[in-house]
Amino acid sequence: MAEAVITAAPTEVSDAVNLKARLRSATARSRRNAFLLTAPLLIMLLITFIVPILDMLFRSIDDPIVGQAVPRAAIALEDWDSGAGLPSEEAYAALVADLAALRTGGSDGKALIGRFATRLNFEQPGVRSVITKTARKAPKLKEGPYKDALIKIHKKWGQPEIWAAIQRLSAPYTVVHFLASLDLHYDVEGSIVGQPEMRQVYITIWLRTLYISGLVTLLCILLGYPVAYLLATLPQRTSNLLIILVLLPFWTSLLVRTTSWIVVLGRNGVLLETLAWLGLVGDVDRPQLIYNMTGTIVAMTHILLPFMILPIYSVMRGISPTYMRAARSLGANPARAFYKVYLPQTVPGVGAGSILVFILAMGYYITPALVGGQNGTLISNFIAFHMQKSLNWGFAAALGAILLAGVLGLYWLYDRVVGVSNMKMG
Amino acid sequence: MPDSDIDTLVEFVGVQKSYDGETLVVKDLNLKVARGEFLTMLGPSGSGKTTVLMMVAGFEPATHGDILLDSVPINNVPPHKRGIGMVFQNYALFPHMTVFENLAFPLQVRRMGKAEVESKVQRALDMVRLGGFGHRRPGQLSGGQQQRVAVARALVFEPTLVLMDEPLGALDKNLREEMQYEIKHIHENLGVTMVYVTHDQSEALTMSNRIAVFDDGVIQQLATPESLYEMPENAFVAGFIGENNRLMGRVTEMNGQSCLVEVDAGGSVQALAINVDGVGTRTTLSLRPERVTINPAEGSCPNVFDAKVEELIYLGDHMRTRVSVCGHDDFIVKVPNSSGNVNLTPGEMVKVGWMAEDCRALDARE
């Protein structure tokens, strides 16, 4: 017996060592497999999502054009105090030299002049032609005084604003896009001031985006909560059928759902025609229901409603009906039992649905673009405008970065108030 | 307890309940619950006992018949106006409220003053020995503590009637036994009427003044725990309460209280005629294992049969002995572990005997 134990022990030990090694290699393989399975998605996310976002965030502060286009002028303007009159003759000479070099520098140089002019134009509308005109004439200016010559070419060279803009933009990084996003800009002295009233656009847009998102979220709660309650309290078989009806819009293109609202709410649409037939609205002075804020709110509420219903429903499904029974057996009438016992338990669902709907609404683009008209467009529409039309990518990136920061801030706030771990999505 | 003597608190008059309009879950229930009584409704799942409780609480309407509370029909009184305390199966403590808030809820609903609420809640918490737990949330309590909070909450507004729906089902065995005594003591101290639903017969036997055994929507027997065990009136009750040997047979002779039964596998047994219609009807003989004697003294028992020891299980205070007798090989005899008892061995041939009054001839329901 004792002999058997002695001979058995060493083999067990060596087996154990083997076992550990085998276990390690086996788990290593499964770890590697797990990584390989997710690798395509990871790589795709990295290339198509994370890198572009980082690139956009960088673009919102990246501003190399002026420094590249007019390096000599940038150096000459370094010590210039924009509050104390025009820059020195030296700076004029440097600018002329820079522009002349670009003008004679082949197609690359000419392209850079264009971008330089565009960049300055964002800062001071109307400056583009000044730059191009000056650049055309710069190679012919062989000797000074350059100051007078430039002012002769265009009188704006005799004003400090354009010089202040060049000075400010010659730094490789800038916050002007962020300032512009909030209707702020640098004045001639370089201090941050509000835009003139007629150029204040974005504060209004931001507030409108917040207002519409908040209102849509509220409407979704008001419309979605009773539906979720119905779904959660009906027998499973019936509620499954109704859930399909809730999910049905997901199977229809967003574009179709939005355009169908045009059919419903349009001037000669289903709704107004019916109301006119009933004599409730006149034939001439019909209310405008679409291509304005009303249209945006109606269409967005409709489209985002499932995102509210599903989290609330999933939370309600988990609330045992005995809570309501207990409350009633303790003497609470149905309304009080609901308000004191049921409602507080659904808060995680309402919170999850609200944050989902609010964040989606903040970034909504297609629907407001189609039915928003003048006063129903959101910040995303302006981001798209600057991406596609005005080609001011830096500014679009700054708007996007603020939107992203706002959404993250909201998420943080939600975590502090309700707790993300309390959130139930479905 | 004859019906006329009791001070009735709850009365069921011809109550029926159907959920689907086809089958009756509760069939013609007539029952009086005395004031101050601890009445248990015991039965297997699906026997209708919980439905009865829900009808009293007002969560399920009776399909037919009347439920009277203090002689007043309550069929049309909504649950929150019935003033009945209830302890639910999974406690139903409100998870978003502290223990104190849970207990204060029924008092605040009744618009009591703040000081009164506080003193009543504290008294109720002290009663269940959770005085210092008021600020905790239900999720931070153990199962037994949650159970005690649920009991305290059902009692804090001083209802005359408290319903309990399998309140100990979620607890482990030791805790369950401890809580049985605790609830029993609360009942004795407060004098409140309790209607308790369970499927656990030992729980019912421990706690109740009376037990109503439910099966198939009908009360099979309503009696004190003792008479339920000693004198089951039908085969279901005999089989459901305690351990029970059953022998199937046919009545061959009626003799007033007693009868003679021809067991199917051969042999004739003298038994008490409890639930048999007369000569020729089939019957189930019911016999408690502890009432069977191994190798009885000559002439001491009217019923003596040859048996073969099949299996012995040592259980300390007694030896659980399985024998085959009269063609049944699942016949159990509890042999007390007292000095002077013979040591049995499996395969051994013995004689088993029992008294005629310990053997009850019941209905033949399988």
Among A320, A322, A332, select the one facing B80 at the smallest CB separation: A332
Contact between residue A176 and residue A63 where contact means Cβ atoms under 8 Å apart = yes
Using the Cα atoms of residue A234, residue A237, residue A240 and residue A245 in order, give the sign of their dihedral.
negative
Mean pLDDT of B110-129: 93
**What DSSP letter does each residue of A300-323 carry, written as one string?**
HHHHHHHHHHHHHHHHHHTS-THH
Are A218 and A346 in a shared domain? yes
Q: Residue A333 and residue B88: Cβ atoms within 8 Å? A: no
Q: Which residues of A touch B90 (CB under 8 A)?
A: 320, 322
Whether pLDDT at B366 is above 80: no
Q: Residue A328 and residue B157: Cβ atoms within 8 Å? A: no
Q: Which residues of A touch B89 (CB under 8 A)?
A: 322
Contact status of B57 with chain A (Cβ, < 8 Å):
yes
Give a yes or no: residue A144 inside a domain.
yes
Per-residue pLDDT at A299: 93
Whether pLDDT at B263 is above 60: yes
Q: Which residues of B touch A337 (CB under 8 A)?
A: 80
Contact between residue B179 and residue B168 where contact means Cβ atoms under 8 Å apart = yes
A336–chain B nearest CA distance, Å: 9
Give a yes or no: residue A192 inside a domain.
no
Interface test mutation site (partner A, options B88, B146, B149, B160, max chain A beta carbons within 10 A): B88
- Whole-number Å distance between alpha carbons of A269 and A157: 56
Mean pLDDT of B187-205: 92
Q: Which helix (H) or strand (E) holds B66?
A: strand B64-69
Structural domain boundaries enclosing A285: 202-422
B82–chain A nearest CA distance, Å: 8
Q: Residue A333 and residue B80: Cβ atoms within 8 Å? A: yes
Are A128 and A211 in a shared domain? no
Give a yes or no: residue B337 inside a domain.
yes
Give a yes or no: residue A257 inside a domain.
yes
Are B312 and B183 in a shared domain? no
Mean pLDDT of B87-93: 91
CA Rg value for chain B: 25
Residue where a domain stops, chosen among B235, B255, B284: B235
Ramachandran quadrant class, A62 (left: phi over 0; alpha: psi -120 to 50; beta: rest): beta
- Whole-number Å distance between alpha carbons of A123 and A187: 11
- Whole-number Å distance between alpha carbons of A135 and A116: 11
Report the SS3 class of residue A173. Answer: strand
Question: What is the total count of domains within chain B?
Answer: 2
Percent of chain B with pLDDT over 70: 97
Which chain A residues in 301-330 lie under 8 Å from chain B, judged by CB atoms?
Answer: 320, 322-323, 325-330
**How buried is residue A251: exposed, middle or buried, by Cβ count under 10 Å (0-12/13-18/19+)?**
exposed
pLDDT band at B65 (very low <50, low <70, confident <90, very high): very high
Q: Which residues of B touch A340 (CB under 8 A)?
A: 105
Q: Residue B92 and residue A326: Cβ atoms within 8 Å? A: yes
B160–chain A nearest CA distance, Å: 13
CA atoms within 13 A on the CB side of A232: 23
For B106, which residue in chain A has the nearest alpha carbon? A330
B97–chain A nearest CA distance, Å: 9
Q: Tell me what percent of chain B is helix, strand and coil, each rounded to the nearest 5.
A: 30, 35, 35
Contact status of A150 with chain B (Cβ, < 8 Å):
no
**What DSSP letter does each residue of A337-389 carry, written as one string?**
HIIIIIHHHHHHHHHHHHHHHHHHHHT--HHHHHH-TTTT--HHHHHHHHHHT
Contact status of B92 with chain A (Cβ, < 8 Å):
yes
Contact between residue A420 and residue A414 where contact means Cβ atoms under 8 Å apart = yes
Contact status of B106 with chain A (Cβ, < 8 Å):
yes
B219 or A142, higher pLDDT: B219
For A320, which residue in chain B has the nearest alpha carbon? B92
Are B221 and B286 in a shared domain? no
Q: Residue A326 and residue B86: Cβ atoms within 8 Å? A: yes
Are B52 and B150 in a shared domain? yes
Give a yes or no: residue A179 inside a domain.
no
Are A152 and A235 in a shared domain? no
CB-defined contacts A:B, below 8 A: 66
Tokens 């399920």 -> residue: B60
- Whole-number Å distance between alpha carbons of B71 and B100: 35
Per-residue pLDDT at A425: 54
Tokens 């069977």 -> residue: B292
- Whole-number Å distance between alpha carbons of B302 and A219: 84
Which residue, A369, A41, A378, is CA-closest to A209?
Answer: A378
Contact status of B86 with chain A (Cβ, < 8 Å):
yes
Are B258 and B219 in a shared domain? no
Contact status of B159 with chain A (Cβ, < 8 Å):
no
- Whole-number Å distance between alpha carbons of A368 and B183: 64
pLDDT band at B104 (very low <50, low <70, confident <90, very high): very high
B83–chain A nearest CA distance, Å: 7
What are the b/e assignments for A272-292, b being 16+ CB within 10 Å? Answer: beeeeeeeebeeeebeebbbb
Are A275 and A357 in a shared domain? yes
Contact between residue B95 and residue A341 where contact means Cβ atoms under 8 Å apart = no
Q: Residue A320 and residue B92: Cβ atoms within 8 Å? A: yes
Tokens 């006329």 -> residue: B4
Among B80, B154, B163, select the one facing A328 at the smallest CB separation: B80
- Whole-number Å distance between alpha carbons of A412 and A402: 15
Are A264 and A368 in a shared domain? yes
Among A322, A323, A328, select the one facing B79 at the smallest CB separation: A328
Per-residue pLDDT at A1: 41
Per-residue pLDDT at B278: 80
Are A219 and A362 in a shared domain? yes
CA distances from B300 to B209, B256, B261, B305, B355 (A): 35, 22, 19, 13, 8
The token pair that represents A419 in the structure block: 């707790």
Condensed to tens digits (0 to 9), the pLDDT of residues B3-15 reads: 556 789 999 999 9
Are B165 and B289 in a shared domain? no
Contact status of B267 with chain A (Cβ, < 8 Å):
no
Q: Which residues of B touch A334 (CB under 8 A)?
A: 80
Residue where a domain stops, chosen among B235, B262, B282: B235
Per-residue pLDDT at A424: 56
A177–chain B nearest CA distance, Å: 47
Query: Which residues partner with B42 through β-bridges?
Result: B198, B213
Report the CATH number that the domain containing residue B215 is assigned in CATH. Answer: 3.40.50.300
Among A323, A330, A345, select the one facing B153 at the smallest CB separation: A330
Contact between residue B364 and residue B281 where contact means Cβ atoms under 8 Å apart = yes
CA atoms within 13 A on the CB side of A157: 22
Are A112 and A222 in a shared domain? no
Mean pLDDT score of chain B, rounded to an integer? 89
Are B108 and B223 in a shared domain? yes
Give a yes or no: residue B47 inside a domain.
yes
Q: Which residues of B touch A338 (CB under 8 A)?
A: none
- Whole-number Å distance between alpha carbons of B261 and B103: 59
Per-residue pLDDT at A12: 59
Q: Which helix (H) or strand (E) holds A26?
A: helix A2-45
Are B215 and B253 in a shared domain? no
Which residue, A422, A241, A205, A220, is CA-closest to A307?
Answer: A220
Give a yes or no: residue B240 inside a domain.
no
Question: What is the total count of domains within chain A?
Answer: 3
Among B78, B94, B110, select the one facing A341 at the smallest CB separation: B94
CA Rg value for chain A: 32
pLDDT band at B303 (very low <50, low <70, confident <90, very high): confident
Give a yes or no: residue A368 inside a domain.
yes
Q: Residue B94 and residue A323: Cβ atoms within 8 Å? A: yes
**How buried is residue A40: exposed, middle or buried, by Cβ count under 10 Å (0-12/13-18/19+)?**
exposed
- ipTM score of complex: 0.83
Interface test mutation site (partner B, options A322, A329, A347, A350, max chain B beta carbons within 10 A): A329
- Whole-number Å distance between alpha carbons of A20 and A14: 10
Structural domain boundaries enclosing B321: 245-362
- Whole-number Å distance between alpha carbons of B129 and B149: 10
B88–chain A nearest CA distance, Å: 8
Are A126 and A8 in a shared domain? no
Give a yes or no: residue B205 inside a domain.
yes
The list of chain A residues with pLDDT below 70 reads: 1-14, 420-426
B14–chain A nearest CA distance, Å: 24
Which residue, A357, A423, A399, is CA-closest to A214?
Answer: A357
Are A155 and A296 in a shared domain? no
Per-residue pLDDT at A81: 81
Interface test mutation site (partner A, options B84, B96, B146, max chain A beta carbons within 10 A): B96
Q: Residue A340 and residue B106: Cβ atoms within 8 Å? A: no
Are A416 and A344 in a shared domain? yes
Per-residue pLDDT at B1: 46
- Whole-number Å distance between alpha carbons of A118 and B358: 110
pLDDT band at B341 (very low <50, low <70, confident <90, very high): low
Give a yes or no: residue A59 inside a domain.
no
Give a yes or no: residue B64 inside a domain.
yes
Give a yes or no: residue A186 inside a domain.
no
Are A210 and A325 in a shared domain? yes
Report the SS3 class of residue B319. Answer: strand
Which residue, B140, B133, B152, is CA-closest to B95?
Answer: B140
Are B279 and B214 in a shared domain? no
Per-residue pLDDT at A124: 81
Are A152 and A285 in a shared domain? no
